[in-house]
Amino acid sequence: MSSHRNVADIIVETLADAGAKRCYGVVGDTINHFTDAIRRNDDLEWVHVRHEEVGGFAAGGEAYMTRELALCAGTCGPGSLHFVNGLFEAHRSGSPVVLIASQVATKDAGIGFPQDVDPKPIYAQYSVFCESIVNPDQARRMAALAAQAALTKKGVAVLVVPGDIFTQKPSQDLPFRAHRFDPIVRPNAEEFVPAVKQLNKGGKISIFAGSGCENARSEVMALAAKLNAPVAWTSRAKDFIEPDNPFQVGMTGVFGLAGGYHAVAECDTLLLLGCNFAWGQFYPEKASIIQVDIDPQQIGKRHPVEIGLVGSVRDTCLALAKMVDEQTDTRWVDNCRKQYLDALGNDAHESKDDTLIHPQELTLALDEQGADDAIFTADGGSPMVWMLRHIHANGQRRTLSSLVHGTMANAYPQAIGIQKAFPKRQVIAMCGDGGLTMLMGDLLTLKQEKVPLKIVVYNNSSLGFVELEQKVEGLLDSYTGLENPDFDKLAQVMGIWGKRVEETHELKPAITEWLNHDGPALLDVKVNRMELVMPPKVASGEVASTALYSTKAVLNGRMEDVVDLVKSNFFKR
Ligand SMILES: Cc1ncc(C[n+]2csc(CCOP(=O)(O)OP(=O)(O)O)c2C)c(N)n1
Ligand SMILES: [Mg+2]
């Protein structure tokens, strides 16, 4: 089969055939022929962002929510480099994205030509595929393999294409295309035996559910019911495990609350399901641990485990539930549930002072007024914590933050891609003032690309999460203050609806107005700066160092800070 089409056409066609709908980026010399092929193709839309990092986040957000391919394309050197942080986030969230990283022409390679940067060693560390097309005959095969790797291994695939290759035509064009699978994967009968034996001992059994529980909700619930086991969840399992689940006890870790902490740390047997939780201090000291994961490399990676089972959570739980004895004692699950519900009640904040809006009460108001099928994103920093704790998952709602890569400035860029993919759904980006201002230029994209996104700014005039870290370590907080403009006015200048809220009584009506606005809208809310994100079990060392901070602050003439910190966190409830 020979082709009249050039490499650019072939790549576009192959990636669109694999399900891609959009390509995010900024045009320029070495990708101009690629973007021209997109212009000529009816199935793929070019989304013109102002900064490639935003394009990387947006493609990742779209791919994460749709589980379909999204694309980015960058010019050689700086253009493709700018994507790095957005795409590292996409990769570590498991989003299937293909980056077309164009490169200087083949005749100019390797001689330090202007704009020559080799993308391979940069993207090789966080990608599922990273290869170059150096001959036009490779185009369809390489594009298909990149798409297949992104979709099946769930991550970012990088295709490096020298600018001159795009216009060349292959001598033959075989019908390579991306294949997708959904196999049944579970351990063999013998491998189940030690796990069943351990679970049949009974006692305090807990489940710790991770992102591998996507598409396995009913199987996990059935197993929890049979074992009468509390289910704690990692932040990335929230959407699948929290909704309408009589066994759930919330998160453990620094973002968690007492129920989840207690269920994981103090059980006799811990069943880890598709769970990649990295913080060793929150694992139990004595329990027997059984770990289920589709990837053998994950078994025993985060904490030593006794029994490993390789399989999907869905298929392995389905089989396990049929093999284990029913546990009828409900004391353990009741105890963990009580702790969870008590802690949740304690953490709800209602301001007694009209001029002091707590970020928690802003989030509770968003939870109350947000649509039943709203999609929320939150910036790395404290907005992520408020979203995970106070936005209730109901099975239709979705949430996304940067939970493994841990970057700032992800929320509204990810939401751009999500809103593009779901133009009719309510998409809410919960931004820090630090996060928003880090990548502010793409607010212009909301107007230009007609993205009716709803942005809320948790405006605490600081890099608040870091301020807290510094205080907890007994340091004097430094370099964390932010001198901000009025974000509502800034939004208006950029062609977006904007409003500012400074007093509690204005909050709920302003949220209604903002959510009802037909088009992009930004709500700037002045929230309390001195808010502690309390870990579920504050280690005595942390209390001591917060006290040390107080002493240092007083000695440095910052008595007012200490009084505010104490007032905000201990006298407000
Ligand atoms: C790109 C990047 N730079 C720096 C950090 C370190 N960091 C984590 S949270 C944070 C502060 C976030 O401030 P803001 O967006 O205002 O949210 P807040 O915590 O104040 O609500 C910083 C600087 C990071 N995670 N990512
Ligand atoms: Mg802030």
Separation of CA 454 and ligand 2 centre (Å) = 18
Among the bound ligands, the one closest to the CA of 407 = 1
Separation of CA 29 and ligand 1 centre (Å) = 34
Same domain assignment for residues 254 and 332: yes
pLDDT of residue 556: 56
Separation of CA 139 and ligand 1 centre (Å) = 40
**Assigned token pair, 462:** 């600081």
Q: Which atom of ligand 1 is nearest to the CA of 464?
A: 20
Same domain assignment for residues 23 and 135: yes
Domain boundary, last residue among 309, 342, 375: 342
Within-domain flag for 178: no
* Ligand 1 neighbour 359 (Cβ under 6 A): no
Closest CA to 425 of 384, 397, 383, 393: 397
Same domain assignment for residues 329 and 372: no
Q: Which atom of ligand 1 is nearest to the CA of 431?
A: 15
pLDDT of residue 570: 43
Among the bound ligands, the one closest to the CA of 410 = 1
Within-domain flag for 179: no
Within-domain flag for 312: yes
Q: Which of 408, 414, 482, 529 to mutate to test the pocket of ligand 1 (most atoms within 8 A of CB)?
A: 408
Q: Which atom of ligand 1 is nearest to the CA of 468?
A: 19
Separation of CA 405 and ligand 1 centre (Å) = 12
* Residue-by-residue DSSP string for 187-243: --HHHHHHHHHHHTT-SSEEEEE-GGGTT-HHHHHHHHHHHT--EEE-GGGHHHHST
CATH number at residue 290: 3.40.50.1220
Same domain assignment for residues 315 and 374: no
Q: Cα–Cα distance between 316 and 318 in angstroms, integer?
A: 5
- Angle (nearest 5°) at CA 79 between 78 and 81: 60
Same domain assignment for residues 411 and 365: yes
Same domain assignment for residues 334 and 458: no
Separation of CA 434 and ligand 1 centre (Å) = 6
Same domain assignment for residues 284 and 395: no
Contact 45, 401 (CB under 8 A): no
Helix/strand/coil (H, E, C) string of 261-308? HHHHHCCCEEEEECCCCCCHHHCCCCCEEEEEECCHHHCCCCCCCCEE
**Assigned token pair, 145:** 């393999």
Q: In tens digits, what is the pLDDT along the chain, a chain of 573 residues?
A: 446 799 999 999 999 999 999 999 999 999 999 999 999 999 999 999 999 999 999 999 999 999 999 999 999 999 999 999 999 999 999 999 999 999 999 999 999 999 999 999 999 999 999 999 999 999 999 999 999 999 999 999 999 999 999 999 999 999 999 999 999 999 999 999 999 999 999 999 999 999 999 999 999 999 999 999 999 999 999 999 999 999 999 999 888 888 999 999 999 999 999 999 999 999 999 999 999 999 999 999 999 999 999 999 999 999 999 999 999 999 999 999 999 998 877 665 666 678 889 999 999 999 999 999 999 999 999 999 999 999 999 999 999 999 999 999 999 999 999 999 999 999 999 999 999 999 999 999 999 999 999 999 999 999 999 998 888 788 988 999 999 999 999 999 999 999 999 999 999 999 999 999 999 999 999 999 887 675 555 454 554 555 555 555 545 555 455 555 545 554 443
Which residue type is seen at 144?
A
Same domain assignment for residues 158 and 243: no
Separation of CA 425 and ligand 2 centre (Å) = 27
Q: Cα–Cα distance between 264 and 431 in angstroms, integer?
A: 31
Within-domain flag for 182: no
Closest CA to 60 of 85, 79, 86, 81: 86
* Residue-by-residue DSSP string for 20-38: --EEEE---GGGHHHHHHH
Separation of CA 435 and ligand 2 centre (Å) = 7
> Angle at which helices 52-66 and 411-421 pack, to 10 degrees?
50
pLDDT of residue 4: 76
- State how many domains the chain has: 3
pLDDT in tens, 408-424: 999 999 999 999 999 99
CATH number at residue 516: 3.40.50.970
Within-domain flag for 436: yes
Domain boundary, last residue among 136, 167, 198: 167
What SS3 state is found at 542? helix
Contact 192, 309 (CB under 8 A): yes
Separation of CA 164 and ligand 1 centre (Å) = 41
Q: Which atom of ligand 1 is nearest to the CA of 458?
A: 21
Could you tell me the residue range of the domain that residue 449 belongs to? 348-571
Contact 220, 231 (CB under 8 A): yes
Longest dimension (CA), the chain: 80
pLDDT of residue 254: 82
Same domain assignment for residues 157 and 21: yes
Q: Cα–Cα distance between 283 and 296 in angstroms, integer?
A: 20
Among the bound ligands, the one closest to the CA of 86 = 1
Within-domain flag for 174: no
* Ligand 1 neighbour 458 (Cβ under 6 A): yes
Separation of CA 463 and ligand 1 centre (Å) = 6
Same domain assignment for residues 66 and 149: yes
Beta bridge mates, 400? 377
User: Which amino acid residue places its CA nearest to atom 13 of ligand 1?
Assistant: 463
Q: Which atom of ligand 1 is nearest to the CA of 463?
A: 13
* Ligand 1 neighbour 363 (Cβ under 6 A): no
* Ligand 1 neighbour 460 (Cβ under 6 A): yes
Contact 410, 89 (CB under 8 A): yes
Separation of CA 466 and ligand 1 centre (Å) = 7
pLDDT of residue 572: 41
Contact 402, 380 (CB under 8 A): yes
* Ligand 1 neighbour 407 (Cβ under 6 A): yes
Within-domain flag for 102: yes
Within-domain flag for 17: yes
pLDDT of residue 573: 35
Same domain assignment for residues 63 and 38: yes
User: Which amino acid residue places its CA nearest to atom 16 of ligand 1?
Assistant: 434
* Ligand 1 neighbour 86 (Cβ under 6 A): no
DSSP β-ladder status, 231-233 and 269-273: unpaired
Q: Which of 89, 465, 469, 482 to mutate to test the pocket of ligand 1 (most atoms within 8 A of CB)?
A: 465
H/E element, 514: helix 504-516
Same domain assignment for residues 477 and 499: yes
Q: Cα–Cα distance between 229 and 211 in angstroms, integer?
A: 19
pLDDT of residue 258: 85
pLDDT in tens, 364-411: 999 999 999 999 999 999 999 999 999 999 999 999 999 999 999 999
* Ligand 1 neighbour 434 (Cβ under 6 A): yes
Domain boundary, last residue among 298, 314, 342: 342
